[in-house]
Amino acid sequence: MQTTIKPYGKLCKDVFHAYMVRNAKFDGDPEIPCVKTTDILPTRLVPFSRAISEKNHSGFVVFYEHDEKIEPLWNNPQKYLSVLKRFDGVVTPDYSLYSDMPLAMQVWNTYRGKAVGAWLNDNKIPTIPNVRWGDARTYELACLGVEHNSTIAVGTHGCIKSKGYKQQFIEGFDYVLQRLCPKTVIVYGRAPKKIFCLAKLCGVEIVTFESDFGLSHKKEVG
């Protein structure tokens, strides 16, 4: 159930970035901010760490990088607003959800990603929600704040490198597929048939972009 909540009272300093969700609706018991999804599909993806120096502004900015590289956006969102506005749109941040992290931290990182999405909405930037899950405790959490029958983005780089990780990703993705019924899934990284076959059978459009690591590896091999 979605609710509209006045997020916080008056504070001397907005250390929790309440301004980012001042116009947001919230979803579920954890009150995850809702993200309005654009119908625009990216033609290319640009990692956040390259966005400032990137000359070609076609495509969407993405955050499928180590947390230390994307944390500057959360620490100072206004600093990067003009940079993000140069591009066609933005996929919401992919803050880490590790299975061995306390659940509270996983909820917080999910909240932060969707809070940035609500802030992007307020600033009229076309936005696609990234959907990230860890173990089974976070499958429902990952879906909160995301519109049904719309476009979502997922990252596979580093998430399917072992049999155990791959199985966890498949189970989580199948849950997301049934829960959100997306019409399009943007995939950053490899998209093995075993993982996305059910989505394709359901008529979901899968749009794949190779990760920077994959592209650089191809160059090295070539």
- 33-55 tens-digit pLDDT: 999 999 999 999 999 999 999 99
> Measuring CA to CA, how many Å separate 14 from each of 79, 131, 145, 158, 176?
16, 27, 23, 34, 33
Please tell me the predicted confidence (pLDDT) of residue 96: 93
- pTM equals 0.90
Residue 83 has, within 13 A of its CA and on its CB side, a CA count of: 19
Mean pLDDT of the chain: 89
Residue 135 φ then ψ, to 5°: -90, -170
Mean pLDDT, rounded, for 96-116: 95
Which 3 state secondary structure label does DSSP give 112?
A: helix
pLDDT of residue 131: 98
Q: Which domain holds residue 100?
A: 2-221
Total domain count for the chain? 1
Which of 33-47, 96-110, 196-210 has the highest mean predicted lDDT (pLDDT)? 33-47
Segment 75-83 mean pLDDT: 97
76 burial (CB, 10 Å; 0-12 / 13-18 / 19+) is exposed
Compute how many other C-beta atoms are within 10 angstroms of the C-beta atom of residue 202.
Answer: 12
- Whole-number pLDDT of residue 104: 96
R_g of the chain, CA atoms, integer Å: 17
